[in-house]
Chain A
Amino acid sequence: QVQLVESGGGVVQPGRSLRLSCAASGFTFSTYGMHWVRQAPGKGLEWVAIIWYDGSNKNYVDSVKGRFTISRDNSKNTVYLQVNSLRDEDTAVYYCARGGDYMDVWGKGTTVTVSS
């Protein structure tokens, strides 16, 4: 069945880095755009980034520009989010989701906790 599985989260000190991964299965990954969306504890959803189906275009929310990088490997059916220079406010559950103007398939999320 169609599935997205995130991994790579953890507890990390401020200023450090992580690479989040999202493995896709059950659909033709290379024909879909992919998003990262995050949710801080007890807060709402925040869109983070999108990458076009072929990786040709990427967009980011202002608060992560220059620190986060979205990428994909269509041969591995995987999308990544490199998160650098982490701040306390980056603590959240990070979801990957399939789609363009809307997100029709979501993973269960991976938790990133930034703490000294």
Chain B
Amino acid sequence: QSALTQPPSASGSPGQSVTISCTGTSSDVGGYNYVSWYQQHPGKAPKVMIYEVNKRPSGVPDRFSGSKSGNTASLTVSGLQAEDEADYYCSSYTGSNNFVVFGGGTKLTVL
């Protein structure tokens, strides 16, 4: 099972919106509505920001939203804030013995 494809970097100015893509196949992203997104600050554990494509856990700001079209999922961060600067990883259920696959990660820089 190959890793999902994410752009290595993304950036935006405070207050702007940025979208990070996550491309898989019909065997993972395209086949199930089980895409999740994780935020990781340096030296910290990951934190789930979006699950099941577009659901936000309690406590996650509504500036974070998720969507999916075909084999590509997207995370949009609106109204960028300095604390949003972090690495973001997508993941998908695969329905195979390789139960979950992650993307390579995207480093989001707030300019």
Which residues of A are at the interface with B, using a C-beta cutoff of 8 A?
Answer: 35, 37, 44-47, 50, 59-62, 95, 97, 101-104, 106-109
Contacts and interface: CB of A to CB of B under 8 A. Distances in A.
A106 B38 CA distance: 11
Given A59-B99, A60-B97, A107-B45, A102 B36 contact: yes
B48 A59 contact: no
B69 interface: no
Given A59-B97, A102-B34, 20 more contacts: A44-B102, A44-B104, A45-B89, A45-B102, A45-B105, A46-B102, A47-B102, A50-B99, A97-B46, A101-B34, A101-B52, A102-B36, A102-B48, A102-B51, A102-B91, A103-B38, A106-B47, A107-B45, A108-B45, A109-B45
Nearest to A93: B45
Contacts of A50: 99-100
* Majority SS at the chain A contact face: strand
8 contacts: A45-B40, A45-B91, A62-B1, A102-B48, A103-B38, A104-B48, A107-B45, A109-B45
Interface in B69-111: 87, 89, 91, 93, 97-105
Interface residues of B, number: 27
A44 B100 contact: no
Contacts of B36: 101-103
